[in-house]
Chains A and B, each alone.
Chain A
Amino acid sequence: MKGARFDQLRTFWAEFRRVKSGLVGLALLGVFILIVLLAPWLSPYSQADKRWRDMTYWIDSPRDARPLWVNWFTSRKYTETQTINAASSKETITGSGSSTMRIEEMEFPYQYKAGYPPNDIMIKLGVTGRSSYEVLIVRPDGKQMSYRGSTTIEGAQVVRLSVVETLASRVYAALAPSEDPAFAAQKDPTQIDPMSALFAKAQPGVFTNPVNVPGTYTVKVKLALIGPDAKLDTSQVLVMGGVSGILGTDDGKRDLWSGVVAGTKWALLLGLLTSLISVAVGVIYGVASGYFGGWIDALMNRIYEVFTSIPLLPILIVMSAVFKPSIWIMILVMCVFFWTGPVKTVRSIALQIKENAYIEAARGLGASHGRILFRHLVPQLLPFAFASMALSVPGAIVTESSLSLIGLGDATVVTWGQILRDAFGSGAVLKGVWWWVVPPGLAIAVMGMTFAFIGFAMDTILNPRLKTR
């Protein structure tokens, strides 16, 4: 008996193998499953799933960065994001006891390779205890600008050069002499873009039409550690580039590749779970309705019709808006409306099978309803059930992402819909931030396609009439 079952599977597989798109679908599904399994190794931010909305987790990555590979296609390159460790450091100790002060002098050389200037430079000083600092930037042409932290701070120091206002004026001060004097006189020092000017050639137009100069820009940091307990661990300079990671980042600095990878898990999970539950319910409902017939069938038909008369997404929107469900409840609610999918077909197939004499023969032999349903009817419907399961996965994923898009998703998980919502909400579409909008949508589409390929392939096997040869 086991052998026979296996035999049927083998013939099914032999048929399936002939449909190329089905094989492509299976391969893609394999890729998605691999992505889920290898997520910790694939994504640079391994906690992306849990800390997607935790802004502190993303502090180290650039904002609004394009994907790395954009540079392969543009003539003017975007700066890559990179971390620079101290090239040299020098320690001087003054005073003793409670008035001990250690001066750490560190140099961070940055090789700037022309193209667009970095978005930002962030200096991270891993300090325990009290400290104050001074920053000096030396350009390849020798021009320098310095900046001193205004107060003494307890704990780690993080300096983001782009938002330090005084830096703008220092840059201005250093470069204004080279600028066209007439222009320089008009310009408000705080209105210049410090980052582009910092990396621009000192010549007229440095503020308005900067020509970026490649070379070594050195960030020199002088850190004063105050008190005997103050210690310095590691210090780094992060150059926030215009490109980062496989898919870039969003305006919350989140790495989109990590997001898409994390979303894969949820898409697969909610898609498969929803389709599994709803198809199981639908198949059993349809089989029972067709098999029992009579008033049971009539009643079940009425219930079915009520469910199919309710537009799916609107009711889900209102339910989500009112009850604010978690993703698990959402899956359950989707099932409540998704189960109707296979019912009609299953019922008509069941009616057809029921007409076969072997059902009557089984009854004549004294088989119970349960035996007939689960030994004769349901097994025949399994291939159809698998096909309709495959075909209802994309629906579930799209429904979830639609709900997320409108702001009703479960905010504690990262789904592709959530990413798209953030993108749409922050105007990415209107600003043309394509690397934020395209990947999650494409992921939904490809996953949908994966299951469509598999489902349609099974469908052609099941409907020999549609075969063209």
Chain B
Amino acid sequence: MSEPILVAENLTKWFPVKRSVGQVLRGNRTWVRAVDGVSFSIEKGEIFGLVGESGCGKTTTGKLIMKLLEITDGRLYVSGEDVTHVRGRALEKHRRAVQMIFQDPYSSMNPRFTIRDVLMEPLEIHKVGKDMKEREAWVREILNEVKLSPPEEFLVRHPHMLSGGQRQRAATARTLMLNPSVIVADEPVSMIDLSTRAEILHMMRQLQRELGLTYIYVTHDLSTARYFTDRLAVMYLGKIIEMGPSGTVIDRCLHPYTQALIGAVCEPVSGKVNQVKDVPIKGEIPAATNIPPGCRFHPRCLYAIPECWEEVEPKLVDIGGGHMVACRRHEEIERVGAAARTSEASLGIRRATRIS
């Protein structure tokens, strides 16, 4: 095993909730526990997926890694260095090492900038390159890298003159300007048409191989996560509840929440029209201000027993092969689920095509 490039230890982000005067006087402090103690480590050249529903803290985790938000508690190491509370020069270094691709390609670039302005900005901020000429050459090189060629044609365009896919390529190009080692990709394809989605992911993977990049892929879409990532962590209410190699987590999931998530996914295969989807979960996601005691998933869990809310929250435990799960009943669940799984796996049939 190689050296981990990014390590998060008990990463925590609590946002204070706006309070009324009365609450301040009574000394009530409430917090939105957006990220509530998350630990993982990512190796160089790995694609690590963070999946979960909206509000589970996956995007906040991404922003903590970017240091766009102050870390409330815990530690964050990049390339072995503690960057939890860095400032000044060290933060600048961190900014060059870790970059981010945003979800919405339509809003991730200033509409008044041309692509040249967009790509020049990181160089201007970090004063990279001797002169305009050198910078411009670098910009062209990167544009070729993300397959926006010929560069001349794209340099003078404004973002609105590009298609969604092209925009996301340009956004990727921007992240590459500073030679980063880690890229946080926050739902990079969720707003792109299905027909071009695969193209973007393909390009990203190619870049990863060529440049030795490490990705943190934040998404709610399990299907692309399975396709794109090496390892996967499933988050619920600010905590990782299951983590491991992508195939294992999806095909042999043990946490009831992961099971519900997977059950909810739609797949383009026939014969499902008259089947009711099996989503083993109840109720709605609680607010992050009011996290249930014990196991935070227990109010929605179909397997919950009194221990689940009476005793402390279960920790992530390794059950072999790097597969980790935070559920006290995972062994029983595994036994029950083994039979059902065989039928589910058969759904992934290869489709024949008429032409080609």
Contact residues, A345-368 vs B (CB, 8 A):
355-358, 360-367
Q: Which residues of A contact B92 (CB under 8 A)?
A: 366
Find A361's partner among B91, B117, B156, B174 (CB 8 Å cutoff). B174
Contact residues, A378-397 vs B (CB, 8 A):
379-380
Q: Which residues of A contact B171 (CB under 8 A)?
A: 361
- How distant is the Cα of A4 from the Cα of B111 in the complex, in angstroms? 11
| A309 contacts B by Cβ under 8 Å | no
Is there contact, CB below 8 Å, between B122 and A357? no
Is there contact, CB below 8 Å, between A376 and B110? yes
| B257 contacts A by Cβ under 8 Å | no
| A10 contacts B by Cβ under 8 Å | no
Is there contact, CB below 8 Å, between A360 and B116? no
Is there contact, CB below 8 Å, between A357 and B156? no
| B114 contacts A by Cβ under 8 Å | yes
* Top-3 shortest CB links A-B: A357-B102, A366-B95, A357-B108
Q: Which residues of A contact B174 (CB under 8 A)?
A: 361, 365
- How distant is the Cα of A358 from the Cα of B110 in the complex, in angstroms? 6
| B19 contacts A by Cβ under 8 Å | no
Contact residues, B143-158 vs A (CB, 8 A):
156, 158
Shortest CB-to-CB span from A372 to chain B, Å, is: 10
Output the nearest chain A residue to B159 by Cβ-Cβ distance: A358
Q: Which residues of A contact B91 (CB under 8 A)?
A: 366
Q: Given A356-B107, A357-B104, A360-B102, decide whether A4 and B117 contact each other with a Cβ distance below 8 A.
A: yes
Output the nearest chain A residue to B126 by Cβ-Cβ distance: A366
Q: Which residues of B contact A357 (CB under 8 A)?
A: 102-104, 107-108
| A8 contacts B by Cβ under 8 Å | yes
Interface membership of chain B positions 204-234, coded 1 if the CB is closer than 8 angstroms to chain A and 0 otherwise: 0000000000000000000000000000000
Q: Beyond the given A356-B107, A367-B125, please list 5 additional residue pairs across the A-B interface where CB-CB is below 8 A.
A: A358-B110, A360-B102, A364-B100, A365-B122, A366-B126
Q: Which residues of B contact A363 (CB under 8 A)?
A: 68
Q: Which residues of B contact A367 (CB under 8 A)?
A: 121, 125
| A1 contacts B by Cβ under 8 Å | yes
Q: Which residues of A contact B (CB under 8 A)?
A: 1, 3-4, 8, 355-358, 360-367, 371, 376, 379-380
Shortest CB-to-CB span from A233 to chain B, Å, is: 69
| B84 contacts A by Cβ under 8 Å | no
Which of B68, B110, B158 is the most central at the interface, judged by chain A CB atoms within 10 Å of its CB?
Answer: B110
Is there contact, CB below 8 Å, between B156 and A364? no
- How distant is the Cα of A367 from the Cα of B171 in the complex, in angstroms? 16
Find B112's partner among A355, A365, A371, A379 (CB 8 Å cutoff). A379
Contact residues, B86-110 vs A (CB, 8 A):
91-92, 95-96, 99-100, 102-104, 107-110
Is there contact, CB below 8 Å, between A365 and B68? no
Output the nearest chain B residue to A367 by Cβ-Cβ distance: B125
Shortest CB-to-CB span from A364 to chain B, Å, is: 5
- How distant is the Cα of A376 from the Cα of B109 in the complex, in angstroms? 10
Is there contact, CB below 8 Å, between B125 and A366? yes
| B66 contacts A by Cβ under 8 Å | yes
Shortest CB-to-CB span from B98 to chain A, Å, is: 8
Is there contact, CB below 8 Å, between A4 and B99? no
Q: Which residues of A contact B126 (CB under 8 A)?
A: 365-366
Output the nearest chain A residue to B93 by Cβ-Cβ distance: A366
Q: Which residues of A contact B104 (CB under 8 A)?
A: 357
Is there contact, CB below 8 Å, between B121 and A365? yes
Is there contact, CB below 8 Å, between B121 and A362? yes
- How distant is the Cα of A367 from the Cα of B68 in the complex, in angstroms? 11
Q: Which residues of B contact A379 (CB under 8 A)?
A: 112
Output the nearest chain B residue to A361 by Cβ-Cβ distance: B108
- How distant is the Cα of A364 from the Cα of B174 in the complex, in angstroms? 11
Shortest CB-to-CB span from B113 to chain A, Å, is: 8
**A–B complex contacts, Cβ < 8 Å, 7 sampled:** A8-B112, A361-B108, A363-B68, A364-B68, A365-B121, A365-B122, A367-B121
Is there contact, CB below 8 Å, between B125 and A4? no
Q: Which residues of B contact A365 (CB under 8 A)?
A: 95, 99, 121-122, 125-126, 174, 178
Shortest CB-to-CB span from B196 to chain A, Å, is: 19
Q: Which residues of A contact B100 (CB under 8 A)?
A: 360-361, 364
Contact residues, B109-142 vs A (CB, 8 A):
109-110, 112-114, 116-117, 121-122, 125-126
Is there contact, CB below 8 Å, between B95 and A364? yes
Which of A4, A8, A364 is the most central at the interface, judged by chain B CB atoms within 10 Å of its CB?
Answer: A364
Output the nearest chain B residue to A371 by Cβ-Cβ distance: B125
Interface membership of chain B positions 251-293, coded 1 if the CB is closer than 8 angstroms to chain A and 0 otherwise: 0000000000000000000000000000000000000000000
- How distant is the Cα of A355 from the Cα of B106 in the complex, in angstroms? 12
Shortest CB-to-CB span from A293 to chain B, Å, is: 11
Shortest CB-to-CB span from A433 to chain B, Å, is: 54
Is there contact, CB below 8 Å, between B112 and A361? no
